[in-house]
Each structure stands twice: as structure tokens, then as C-alpha cells.
Amino acid sequence: MESTTEALSKLNINGDFASSVPNLHKNLHLLPPEQIELAKILVEMGQSHLFEHWPEPGVDDEEKKALFDQVARLNSSYPGGLASYIKTARELLADSKAGKNPFDGFTPSVPTGENLTFGDENFVKFEEAGVREAQNAAFVLVAGGLGERLGYNGIKVALPMETTTGTCFLQHYIESVLALQEASYRLTQGECQRDIPFVIMTSDDTHSRTLELLESNSYFGMKTSQIILLKQEKVACLEDNDARLALDPHNKYRIQTKPHGHGDVHSLLYSSGLLSKWRDAGLRWVLFFQDTNGLLFKAIPASLGVSATKQYHVNSLAVPRKAKEAIGGITKLTHADGRSMVINVEYNQLDPLLRATGHPDGDVNCETGYSPFPGNINQLILELGPYIEELKKTGGAIKEFVNPKYKDASKTSFKSSTRLECMMQDYPKTLPPSARVGFTVMDTWLAYAPVKNNPEDAAKVPKGNPYHSATSGEMAIYRANSLILRKVGVQVGDPVQQVFNGQEVEVWPRITWKPKWGLTFSDVKRKVSGSCSISQRSTMAIKGRNIFVEDLSLDGALVIESVDGAEVKVGGSVQNKGWIIESVDYKDTSVPEEIRIRGFRIKKIEQLEKHYSEPGKFDLKA
């Protein structure tokens, strides 16, 4: 191995290193050879300012070493290292200053995809195909963010998805994957019994708390060997158009860092070796999803079925989108030079792009009442083989962007430091035109109810637009379950309008079930029969695989829980005082955050509650 002395002598080849960065040069002996090489790279890339304040050797030596420990981490965690990061940053900052349009030369058109109608023959066919294919899939949850934007101080995946049962997002996701795993095994009659891998991408902010949530809940029933946590690193901040790295304002021996975006998931999967391991094990699909969409797994089986049937390399899950709605549109872009790609185009870019390319009205609704460009919900299904081949070319790097906030129109200085960012859904930007890139559109009520806005921001959303809050996210789950039961013939009471935290929402019966009870439409249809009715004020929670609802009239609260070996028939007339919804003041700090941000809590007055803890056949006739 090269010695520090040899490394130092190499640095002096050009003779002017000592004079150009004297403070660094005096302190180089503190560093090991590999970090001296990093020092050389930094100087060559115009980063000498990082060392201008360095005192003589003997002063703050440990802090100087700590800076280079950080530089080493930043260098190793970015494809191509810091030199590549700085070079890319300069190019993107120059484009930003010049106001360059990233879509210059491209013409938009509507790509090819599949539009599904919940519950029809086609939907059921794709659902079954997706369940079969699930044992050949790996799931990747992108969970690097805290809930601060929501007004919640915990990690977002720990937030209750709904408060009737208190199930948190992470528990629901894990139970959904386990239900898919079991259903796939049953449907294929055990051709290949395999545990579905479940990866969670964390960050410095969420890693330890995610691990703690899993460990304190016995991994929510999943084998510890199935769950892999991959932690993304932050990237260096930039202080000007020359891409000079910004020092931390609170510590002159640290480079300021910020998150790089969820696009890092691709490079992490690639560098971890997991993708090759999965391919060798016979897996075929990787499904990516984000942290707070409680409806997603109602759409995943059919979407995976579409991928398998249509042999899509990339399948973007989507929902119908109104023209100019603040959600990106999935668009085919064809360049004058013949290049083409199918990607998400942000709503504020799609309308001007259409106007500039022969569509004078821009983004408008078609005869369906929606824009022909489906709304991207950032859930992706990738075919593993082509995915690996593509990442071999890029090392997992995703096309980046930079979004500096300039002080004035001269665009010479920033209001605060910026950084390069990348998005998971931009993966298709580098694919060849031969790649089969499509989409699957589902009804919004079935597939998309993200929880991302705090109550104050949600209350300001223009009337008719989605709130995307904890309030609307919970109510969307009850609505979806009510509509699914209506589809199988249950008389479900009409919703009432109520206002919580300044948001007017539809309040449906509070109906919840575990994924293993009703993973697909066919599951629900098989387990509900006869003449059933549920009043608007009712609550029903089903927690067991083999619970069959037959000729049930519910006006109140009903909670049924059973072990897997118990088969329970539930029917008759259940009437009690039930559980009621009470309004909660968002500003009342005596109430837990996860309740306050919803603006309501469930008050349990009276219920019929039965637990079947032994195997056997049981009848519950109320």
C-alpha cells in the first residue's frame, strides 16, 4: 500500500500545490494516502475554499480528519464519486441559469397503457395473474422521510393508517406482502414456495426508528430474513453556480448535506448486490412504492398481472387525472432526432410543453372528462432482467436535476445552498426506445390516497381538489372498503359530509379488514353472501382469514378476530350504540399528534366483539 510520504510526493509533481492551497498542504500529513488522493481531487475540482480557514497543524486536527472522513463517505456513496457529482452539478447549474428547457426538441403524446375497471371480468383476470406472479416479486418501500410536513414528529410509516384498528402503515404493508405471498403459493399449488423479499430504503432520519418499530413489533409477523434495510446517504450542498461545496454554517469542518431524493433507491439496490441475488433465485419483478398510501395494495395484484401479461419492462401505476391537476402526467416524449421515452412530466411542465408543440389549448380533458395523460402516483413495477442490464450501464445513477432558489433575476447567487436531486420515477429516462414502458390506470378511490399534507396546508387546498392529509387518507380507506362491499351486493349506507380540521370529507361506515381476509376482489366476493346491510353509523373490523359474512344486518359496531384455523360464519342482526366519531381541535396539544392531525377520534361506546382463538367451525348469529 502507498505510504503517506509517497502520496504527498505525488501531489507535489506540479510544484504549485503548496502555494495554491498552503493551509491544506501543511496539514496533509494528518491524512492517510487514500484521503490525500481525495484532497487532490477536491483541489482539482475547484474546492480549495474548503481549507482556507484551516489553522496550523496541532490545532483542530481531529476536526480536519473528520472532514475527510465525511468527504470519503460522500465520495463512496455517489456513483462516480465527488468529481462526477461536481461535474454534473456545474452542467445542470449552467442549464438552470440559462433557463434551458429539459424538454426542448421533444413532442408529447399519449403512451400505451391499460385502463382497468374495478370488479369487471378483465380486472379479475389481471388480479389472478398478479397473485400468481407475486411469488416472483420483490417489494421495495421508499421510507426516508419524517412526518414533519404532516405535523407528526415520528417516522411516517409508524403513523396509524386508520384509527379504527390503529394499524400503522408499515404493519399494513408487511401484512399485505405476507397475504400476497400466501395467496400466490395457494394459487400455484406450491410450485415454488418462496418468501417475498421486502426492502425498506431508510435515511439517517428514519433508519434507527424504522428498525426499532420492526423489532418492537416482532417484524409484524414477517421473517427477519425477508426484511432488508438499505440506508441512503445525503449529498453535498452547493453554494454557487460554480458548484463550490457549501460548508455547514454551524461547523466549518463539515460540508453541509441534504437528501438526494428517492431516486437513490436504484443505486442502493444495484450496489448492494440484491438484484443479482434475486435474479439468481428466479425472481422476475421489483415493485417500488412510497410510505403513506393506504390504498396501494388494493391496486397491486391487478397491476402486477398487467406487467406479466403485457410483458412491460416498466409499468407505472396511475389514476385518472383532470387537466392541469397538480399531479404529474405519464407522457411519451419523442425527440426530433428520433429518441423517445415514456416518463412522468410534472403538471406545470406538461401544459406549456403541449402548447409549444401544436396543442394551443394545452392540457385539456378529453371525452372521458379526464386528461388523456394519466396521473402518476409514483408506484413502479420493473422487470428485473432488463432493470439489471440498464443499471449495469449507469451504475444505478438516475438522471438528476437541480432547483436553486436565486436571490434575484441575475441568477448569480442563491438564497440558500442547493443540491442535486433525483426521483425514483425518472428511471425510464435512460431506457432505449425498444423498452416496453407502459402504465396501469386504476380508479383513484381504489388506488391513491397519500397522506402528506398537514391540516393547515390541507385546509387551504382549493375546493374539489384532494386534501392528501391524514384526515382524507383515513376516510378514503373507509370509502374504498364500502364501495368494494357495494360491488359484491352489500347495502352500504350513503356517506355524510363532515368537516374536520377545516376539511370537508365524506364519512362512510368505518369498515376495515386485514389483507389476508380480502386481498383481492374475488376474495371479498367469496366471503360475503346473502342479503347484507351496513348502516352509515356502523363500524366493522374483520381480523381473520376465514370469516364469512352471510345475511348480516349491522347497525353499530362489530369486531371479529380469529386464528387461521378457525372458520367463522357471521350473520343475523347486530345492533348496538356503536363507536362514534368525535371532533378534535388540531391545536389541542393534550391530544396525541396522530389523532390531532386527523381532527377526529373514535369513541368506543358499545360493540359486539368476538375472538376465536382455537381452530374449528363457528357460527355467530346475532
User: What pLDDT is stored for residue 517 in this prediction?
Assistant: 98
Interatomic CA distance for residues 332 and 321, integer angstroms: 16
Average pLDDT over residues 574-585: 96
Query: Residue 14 has what pLDDT?
Result: 45
Is the pLDDT confidence value at 280 over 70? yes
- 130 Cα distance to chain centroid: 20
Confidence of residue 192 (pLDDT cuts 50, 70, 90): low
Q: Which of 25-39, 140-154, 190-204 has the highest mean pLDDT?
A: 25-39
Calculate the average pLDDT of the chain: 92
**CA 46/CA 86 separation, integer angstroms:** 9
DSSP result, 426-438: GGGGG--TTS-EE
Q: Which domains does the chain show, CATH number per domain?
A: 4-77 (no CATH), 96-452 (3.90.550.10), 457-621 (2.160.10.30)
pLDDT for the residue 580:
97
Is pLDDT above 70 for 190? no
C-alpha cell at 94: 449552467
Q: What are phi and psi of 140, to 5 degrees?
A: -130, 115
Fill in the amino acid letter for 270.
Y
CA 46 from centroid of its chain's CA atoms:
36
* Secondary structure tally for the chain: helices H, strands E: 19, 33
Asked if residues 596 and 586 have their Cβ atoms less than 8 Å apart, the reply is yes
CA distances from 330 to 116, 126, 194, 322 (A): 16, 21, 34, 13
Which residues are within 8 A (CB) of 352 and not within 5 positions of it... i.e. 6 or more apart? Answer: 362
pLDDT at 537 over 90: yes
Q: What is the pLDDT of residues 122-133, one digit of tens each?
A: 999 999 999 999
Rounded to whole angstroms, the Cα distance separating 540 from 309 reads 36
Q: Are 283 and 138 in contact (CB under 8 A)?
A: yes
How confident is the model at residue 196, as a pLDDT?
A: 97
Confidence label for 10 from pLDDT (cuts 50, 70 and 90):
low
**180: how many CB neighbours lie within 10 A of its CB?**
27
- Output phi, psi for 530, to 5 deg: 75, -160
pLDDT digits (tens, 9 = 90+) for 65-111: 999 999 999 999 898 899 999 999 999 999 988 888 888 889 999 99
Q: How many CB atoms lie within 10 A of CB 522?
A: 18
Residue 1: per-residue pLDDT: 47
N- to C-terminal Cα distance for the chain?
Answer: 79
